[in-house]
Amino acid sequence: MPSIDIHADVVDLTRQLVDIESVSRHERAIAGAVEQALSALEHLSVTRHGNTVVARTELGRDHRVVLAGHLDTVPVNGNLPSRLEDGILHGLGSCDMKGGDAVILRLAATLTEPVHDVTFVLYDAEEIDAALNGLNLLGQSGPDLLEADFAVLMEPSNGVVEAGCQGTLRVEVRTRGERAHAARSWRGVNAIHAAAEVLTRLNAYEPRRPVIDGLEYREGLNAVGISGGVAGNVVPDECVVTVNHRFAPDRSEAEAEAFVRELFDGFDVTVVDSAPGALPGLDRPAAAAFIEAVGGVVNPKFGWTDVARFSLLGIPAVNYGPGDPLFAHKQDEHVEVAQIVRCEEQLRAWLTGAVGAGGDAR
């Protein structure tokens, strides 16, 4: 089994992690190395759940925060082992998200007296089906282990905080008609023609832009798919428009669904997928101190991420980590090592109380 030197500097530690191949469903080796390294630290209480490792300080602080990262990567694409060149670390997982994992492990190794209790979570299977996602499974089997006032999910965000996340709802809007030979089309009813009204309503849609905790979200309603047609000579009897609604975190899934159903009133609407948004939760003391420590810049998160899983557990969460997300899942994945170093410094400042007054004082 491979092992890691958790006492190396954060860039070297990132390289070590990248060089342990850990494509989704093959995280046993890296989880073993992480568990072994954390278990050697006396100030942490470590538990393992499948290939998810949880390490906690137990200092009795008033507040507890979570730092979380996933250990898995998308499939190898000729981009291993790692290569460090001119301050850029190249290799699968360097950006998404072993730089963030290395920051978590460095802080776990060195912060023996943080101002908040900290739960460090390194989990598996983030890149695949939600049913296998280690954070999701842990939230179901051992939610107590995740209890906290605030969570930082260290997905690549160029080292800028992205708070909350929008929810997502996918529906099929279906029109029906009646088949006929296209040469005698007046005997049928064209279901594709009937979809004109569905698309017209989509074009007329005006997105809400609610401001929550000072962040402006921006909703969206888009056809992401359309299909219809029986044969080249047949008037089609069905057309399906798949619509994706992105909704700000001040709306519940039920409210989002009601909105979409009303907008497509008169059509057959079927929900095929739904996930709630997550409120930014920046009003919580631990969060406010965190924002100050990382420089005060916060953007709303428009996409859906695992922060919503924390939200479901009642824990406000933000995305914040090294790496440009545009290079995630790309063959030429890479990360600026300076970003990894800065993330470690900023989180350390927050968790040692060197910046901001700490959670209680704000």
170 touches a second copy (CB under 8 A)? yes
Within 259-288, the residues that bind a second copy by CB under 8 A are 273
Catalytic residue among 126, 162, 219, 238: 126
Of 200, 206, 262, 331, the residue at the interface with a second copy (CB under 8 A) is 200
241 touches a second copy (CB under 8 A)? yes
User: Using alpha carbons only, how large is the chain's radius of gyration in Å?
Assistant: 24
- Catalytic site residue 155? no
- E-assigned strands of the chain? 45-49, 52-56, 64-70, 83-85, 88-90, 117-123, 150-153, 161-163, 167-176, 180-181, 211-212, 215-216, 220-228, 234-235, 238-247, 268-275, 298-300, 317-319, 334-336
Q: How far is the CB of 271 from a second copy (least distance, A)?
A: 13
Show contacts of 28-35: CB within 8 Å, 24+ apart.
29/1, 29/2, 30/2, 30/71, 31/71, 31/122, 31/124, 32/1, 32/2, 33/1, 33/2, 33/3, 33/4, 34/4, 34/71, 34/105, 34/122
Q: What is the DSSP string of 244-302?
A: EEEE-TTS-HHHHHHHHHHHTTTSEEEEEEEE--B---TTSHHHHHHHHHTTS-EEE--
Q: Which is it for the CA torsion 73, 76, 80, 85, positive or negative? A: negative
Q: How far is the CB of 221 from a second copy (least distance, A)?
A: 8
179 touches a second copy (CB under 8 A)? no
Q: How far is the CB of 27 from a second copy (least distance, A)?
A: 24
Given a contact cutoff of 8 angstroms between Cβ atoms, the answer to whether 248 and 210 are in contact is: yes
246 touches a second copy (CB under 8 A)? yes
195 touches a second copy (CB under 8 A)? yes
Two tokens, residue 80: 């291993």
331 touches a second copy (CB under 8 A)? no
183 touches a second copy (CB under 8 A)? yes
74 touches a second copy (CB under 8 A)? no
Helices and strands, counts by H and E, the chain = 11, 19
Catalytic residue among 72, 117, 149, 238: 72
176 touches a second copy (CB under 8 A)? no
329 touches a second copy (CB under 8 A)? no
- Catalytic site residue 113? no
SS3 66: strand
Q: How far is the CB of 158 from a second copy (least distance, A)?
A: 15
236 touches a second copy (CB under 8 A)? yes
Within 292-311, the residues that bind a second copy by CB under 8 A are 302-304
189 touches a second copy (CB under 8 A)? no
75 touches a second copy (CB under 8 A)? no
Single out the segment in contact with a second copy by CB under 8 A; choices: 30-38, 84-92, 130-138, 199-207: 199-207
Query: Residues in the site for a second copy, rule: CB under 8 A?
Result: 166, 168, 170, 181-186, 190, 192-193, 195-196, 199-200, 202-203, 207, 218, 220, 222-236, 239, 241-242, 244, 246, 273, 302-304
Q: Which residues are catalytic?
A: 72, 126
